[in-house]
Amino acid sequence: MDLTIDCTQRAPEDKPKRLRREGVLPAVLYGHDGAASMSLKLSNYDAEALLRKATVNKSVITVNVTAAKWSGKVILREVQKHPWKNKLHHLSFFSIASQDFIEVSMPINFMGEAIGVANKGGTLDTVMTEVQMKSPPDAKTQS
């Protein structure tokens, strides 16, 4: 599934609180230029549509920044929501194009039934449900 979102660069005088009132969501892009970051803004509607398909730290997204003429593959690093209104507050993207390896968490899918559970009436205690992995940014996952 190819996920794409269009953003514009946020001016320094654009205050996040005013942007949110206007239906615009503040965001930030890290890792595209060393330690520098880029302040972004995007439509709240587009962000909510993206979050229905994307997963934090797992989904690769193509971000197009129109004003800065930057486009690249990113991972959605953080989603901030308002504490009690449950509205989107801020998004953080991390560029993976310049990275040799990225660290992600992958879920563990248990298949079948353990012999001790099936034949001897035991119980299965799953201590870990996900594992941290390092992989190249363009590696494909299997379902």
C-alpha to C-alpha distance for 85 and 46, rounded to whole angstroms: 19
C-alpha to C-alpha distance for 122 and 106, rounded to whole angstroms: 27
82 located within any domain: yes
Structural domain tally of the chain?
1
C-alpha to C-alpha distance for 68 and 27, rounded to whole angstroms: 15
94 located within any domain: yes
Nearest to 6 by CA among 52, 62, 60: 62
Q: pLDDT truncated to tens, each residue of the chain (143 aa)?
A: 578 888 888 988 999 999 999 999 999 998 877 778 889 999 999 999 999 999 888 888 888 888 778 888 888 899 999 888 889 999 999 888 766 677 777 788 888 888 888 787 888 888 888 888 887 766 665 54
Task: Report the CATH number that the domain containing residue 16 is assigned in CATH.
Answer: 2.40.240.10
Range of the domain at 73: 3-99
